[in-house]
Amino acid sequence: MAAQKKPYLIVPFLVEQPTWGGTYICEKKGWLQRKELENKKIGQSYELYNKSFLTSTILSSDDPRFYPEVKDVIPISLFIETRPFPLIKFTQAKGNSFQLHVRPETQGTYWRPKAESWYFFEEGKMTFGVKKGIQIEEYKKSCHIINNKMKELSTLVTQKKLDSISARKRAREYVLSQNPWQYVNVHFTKKGDVIDLSGGGIHHSWEEDNITCPLGNIVYEVQQDVIDSVCTIRSFDQGKIKEDGTNREMQIDDYFKYIDLDEERNTLSNKKNKDGTLFNTPFYSLTSITVAINKEMESATSFHHLFVKEGKIVVVDQNRNEICVGEGHSCFIPMGVRYLIKPKMYSEVLLTYL
């Protein structure tokens, strides 16, 4: 099956997360009034991944259709690239686990590296790197102690000796008494901050602070598309216990085996290039483009993925195929297409490419 080389809208894959999602993503897309999304907390929107679907169908807020009801879709896999497509996620999250990914040069292990980079749309709270001068063995011991306590509480709930609400209360109290945050760097992020984790080996998490950051962390993520089970190494899961009493498996020993303790790499740096480049890694690049007048573009050596952060644009190719892309939505331009971005108003567009 051949696919025409022209601009396409991307059908976003929305992920409901009742415990830590919200309404920010749907509001940005103009979808707050959709009945099928009523009372749903959306934690993530997959704006691009290897199973994305493309369409020329209007996805604006006045169109009643919604994935998977959108018709006339084609799989992105019809467009072959020399390198795999990255995973692009628009995220609203609170209380993510303490975790890391192995460095790209790591060999001879079950774990696969995963480059990952974040761009904050709003103020947030996160941890990055371990604190200077900590006793790393004390940190490791604390993680094991917390994990053992979580297993104990899990057993009580699954054996119906304790209800999940009481278990979570005990978990919170115990976690606070151990205070694993004393071993890591806690940061309040600003709107527009960029965090590049593509080098791997660095501790990171998103934190929950309903007073300072009630929205949670609103993050545009670009990363290699690698499944969590083979790339995400966790040491602490914020004391979470599921309704059925189970909790997530930790990989504490591997976390401390592969963590990079170099002081410079554990110090947060937020560097943005003057040309609009937010991050430029060996695996993907992200650039912010402001569009006030028509702008000529070409996807010469890689696909282009456009996400409209603010405003509204029309994308027209050399054969006069065109699509309208509203705020909070994405489009895909295959490799080898010359096109024009025509702003309906002053717009800010995020361009991802290989």
Residue 335 CA to residue 106 CA, distance in Å, equals 31
Q: How far is CA 189 from CA 125, 238, 272, 304, 345, in A?
A: 6, 20, 14, 28, 29
Percent of residues, the chain, with pLDDT higher than 70: 94
Question: Mean pLDDT, to the nearest integer, of 346-351?
Answer: 97
The helix or strand, by DSSP H or E, that contains position 14, with its residue range, turns out to be strand 13-16
Question: Mean pLDDT, to the nearest integer, of 14-35?
Answer: 89
Contact 349, 307 (CB under 8 A): yes
pLDDT single digits (tens) 189-204: 999 999 999 999 999 9
Q: What is the pLDDT of residue 62?
A: 45
- Binning pLDDT at 50, 70 and 90, where does residue 18 land? confident
Residue 207 CA to residue 217 CA, distance in Å, equals 8
Least Cα distance to 200 among 284, 113, 281, 118 occurs for 113
Decide if pLDDT at 61 tops 60.
no
pLDDT single digits (tens) 117-164: 999 999 999 999 999 999 999 999 999 999 999 999 999 999 999 999
Q: What is the pLDDT of residue 63?
A: 45
CA 153-231-89 angle, 5° bins: 95
- What is the average pLDDT score of the chain? 92
Q: Is the pTM of this model over 0.85?
A: yes
- Binning pLDDT at 50, 70 and 90, where does residue 271 land? low
Question: Mean pLDDT, to the nearest integer, of 49-57?
Answer: 89
Return the structure tokens found at 29: 């897309």
The DSSP bridge partners found for residue 4 are none
Q: What is the pLDDT of residue 321?
A: 94
pLDDT single digits (tens) 220-257: 999 999 999 999 999 999 999 988 899 999 999 999 99
Q: What is the pLDDT of residue 243?
A: 86
Decide if pLDDT at 1 tops 80.
no
Decide if pLDDT at 64 tops 60.
no
Domains of the chain, CATH where assigned: 11-130+189-228 (2.60.120.10), 277-353 (2.60.120.10)
* DSSP 8-state symbol, 275: T
Q: Tokens 């050596």 belong to which residue?
A: 301
Decide if pLDDT at 57 tops 90.
no
Residue 126 CA to residue 95 CA, distance in Å, equals 9
Q: What is the pLDDT of residue 46?
A: 96
